[in-house]
Amino acid sequence: MKSPFYTAEHDAFRDVMRRFVDKEIAPFAHEWDEAGEFPRALYRKAAEIGLLGLGFPEEYGGIAADQFMKIVASQELARAGAGGVSASLMSHTIGSPPIARAARPEVKARVLPQVLSGDKISALAITEPGGGSDVANLRTSARRDGDHYVVSGEKTFITSGMRADYLTVAVRTGGEGAGGVSLLLIEDDTPGLSRTRLKKMGWWASDTATLHFDDCRVPAANLIGEEGQGFKIIMQNFNSERMGMAAGCTAFARVCLDEAIAYAKERKTFGKPLAQHQVIRHKIVDMAQKVAASQAMLEMLAWRLEQGESPVAEICMMKNQATQTMAFCASEAVQIFGGAGFMRGIKAERIYREVKVNAIGGGTEEIMKDLASRQMGL
């Protein structure tokens, strides 16, 4: 699909990404999903092609990248139809931006090069067992004790939670509400930190965990930003996270479309290919229409972000548009495949299992609508 937003540089990176996915991910996606994990060496391989460093400061091993380079990365990863691999491999894109933006210089210099080289894994820990996206009312506490904070509480549904080396954790250092929230960098060998693996509907290859903090002593130097400024930093993270999810979901929908088209041309029923049945052709056109609309909306929002705008309402709507498109296309693809679509091992089946996590993670569909309506002055 031609687009005026992509340059020769974007196209060259797309070629690199496509070769990487075809060689390093796609052949193993089903195997890794069944195993519930993928090799840690994949992080270093991703770093070698510049994937992990996109958008991070060059002084720490990052690579300058605009919104469209990030879209290319998300959408080429999605071609493997393995959301769990994408989620954990790229968990640093939500775990490390607060570090790059607001951590002390010595912390940035120590942590970011290790993450962007693929030697260490970064994750974000905000959600708690008693509350999901209600960041302002989180309960995990961090009490100052000399040159340390003492952290107590739990986080759950944390992507890369089992093997992350660096956890960017939202904690309460002050009173009630958003003003009492801060961010701390908690390292994997901190005494009192334990983890429980969680089993999920989809994203099997991604490790997901509940984190337990039992009086963990964390150096005060690991405070990210100032005390009480954590909520603001978290909110700054959301636009990028939701755009990345929207890009991936739109691409997963396209994978379902492409798989359905290929199968419909090959599979014969009642003496002719599925694609020659009008009802199947109409399904495919409906899928293609939704994918094209979502991609156009995504790219227009990316352009607006490049112009310095912050279209929060539209980004929230974009996330919902993309997840709804993914849900529709995954369902229709499985339907077109029939019994074969119910069997494990094909991309459409795997994507179908991963629909709901995208509609929930990064802010549920309901929260996106409420936030968008507030931004619209309603």
Amino acid in position 295: Q
What value does the CA radius of gyration of the chain take, rounded to a whole number of Å? 21
Burial letters for 290-315: b for 16+ Cβ neighbours within 10 Å, e otherwise? Answer: bbeebbebbbebbeebeeeeebbbbb
Amino acid in position 343: M
Helices and strands in the chain: count of H runs, count of E runs: 14, 10
CA distance 229 to 38: 35
Strand partners, 170: 183
CA distance 76 to 235: 27
Q: What are phi and psi of 122, to 5 degrees?
A: -115, 140
CA distance 30 to 238: 30
Instruction: Name the active-site residue from 241, 314, 349, 354.
Output: 241
Residue 64, helix vs strand vs coil: coil
- Six-digit token string for 26: 């796609």
- Residues 6 or more apart whose CB falls under 8 angstroms from that of 135 comprise 126, 170, 178, 181, 231, 234
Q: Is 241 a catalytic residue?
A: yes
CA distance 94 to 124: 6
Q: By C-alpha distance, which of 84, 93, 87 is closest to 115?
A: 93
CA distance 16 to 7: 15
Strand partners, 149: 144, 218
Which positions are annotated as active-site residues?
241
